[in-house]
Copies of this chain bind each other. A is one copy, B any other.
Amino acid sequence: MAVYTDVSDKELEAFIGSYDIGALTSFKGIAEGVENSNYLVHTVGGPYILTLYEKRVRPKDLPYFLGLMEHLAARGISCPLPVRDRAGHSLKELAGRPAALISFLEGLWVRRPAIEHCAGLGRALAQFHLAGRDFAMSRGNDLSLSGWQALYDDVSASADSVIPGLREEIARELSHLEAHWTADLPTGVIHADLFPDNVFFLDDKLSGIIDFYFACNDMLAYDVAICLNAWCFEPDASFNVTKARAMLQAYEQERPLTEAELAALPLLARGAALRFLLTRTYDWLNTDASALVKTKDPTEYLRKLRFHQRVKSYRDYGLGEH
């Protein structure tokens, strides 16, 4: 949750005036989104979200993210749509930051996903993967294997101050993943951060997906592995196989997983757990106390990683024989 940038009255007025959306009637910072500053904007035409992109997002990636939202929306995926100004631009600047105005998506994210939410998520994830197939732009995943190594180098000296023994445990896992990681699986656009707070529901029906600022091109099954981590564990870090089965079966109704993807799932889930363990450890060590960000406990992902290390096959995630 974060609002980092103060916007002056005159700048804001000029910015909103460049769109054909009517006069501004309300402007409030939203306490959601860790990476960027988000504002709820009301105009006489309706509600919008204004995002100012802060330092963690590279400006050169923004056309990919905004273009992806337009691409997905045009293919029927419910996601925020960047608004174009009178000159046709969706990527603009405000208060010295890259900025975009996007449509407001109704819906609530579920604090504690139930089985039906996991099923809805699985279906939407597969539809997202299918809709992204003909997206023309490409962006590498800088938070995959080589990125993990770089993060490990950053945190290794202090990791044990976060959790005793963490340095050695990450190093061992990283060696394992380096030895076994694969790239030989179906690839495409992945969301790469499809946590419950990025998925909206209305009346327990999925109403939309938001926050495409980690999206990239990578193995589709890795996205599934991220969602296994993000959706299918209970608050006490126990794995809920019923939720996983619901998610995976719903996914497969839209896009069946290949044998190779299924076989790789435990490895991909370990990679996904390590990715969030590393970034949370990094954030834990590097978050400026004044940054208005609630730092998430890395322990959660260490426990998830240990679970996946014990998994023998994709069947442990609740899927029967294919």
List A residues at the B interface (Cβ < 8 Å).
1-3, 6-9, 12, 23-32, 40, 42, 47, 104, 106-108, 110-112, 202-203, 289-290, 292-294
Contact = CB atoms under 8 A, between A and B. Distances in A.
Contact of A25 (B3, B40, B202): B202
Contact of A32 (B1, B28, B108): B28
A111 B10 CA distance: 9
Contacts of A29: 1, 30-32
A25 to B, nearest CB: 4
B31 A108 contact: no
Contacts of A6: 111
B290 A25 contact: no
A21 to B, nearest CB: 15
A28 B30 contact: yes
Nearest to A28: B30
Nearest to A113: B9
B9 A28 contact: no
B289 A292 contact: no
A26 B3 CA distance: 19
Given A23-B203, A25-B202, A290-B289, A110 B9 contact: yes
A269 to B, nearest CB: 26
B107 A25 contact: yes
A310 to B, nearest CB: 30
Contact of A31 (B31, B47, B104, B107): B31
A42 B202 CA distance: 12
A107 B28 CA distance: 10
A130 B114 CA distance: 53
A314 B66 CA distance: 56
Nearest to A295: B290
A290 B295 CA distance: 9
Contacts of A32: 28-29
Contacts of A9: 108, 110-112
Quick one: which of A26, A40, A112 has the most chain B CB within 10 A?
A26
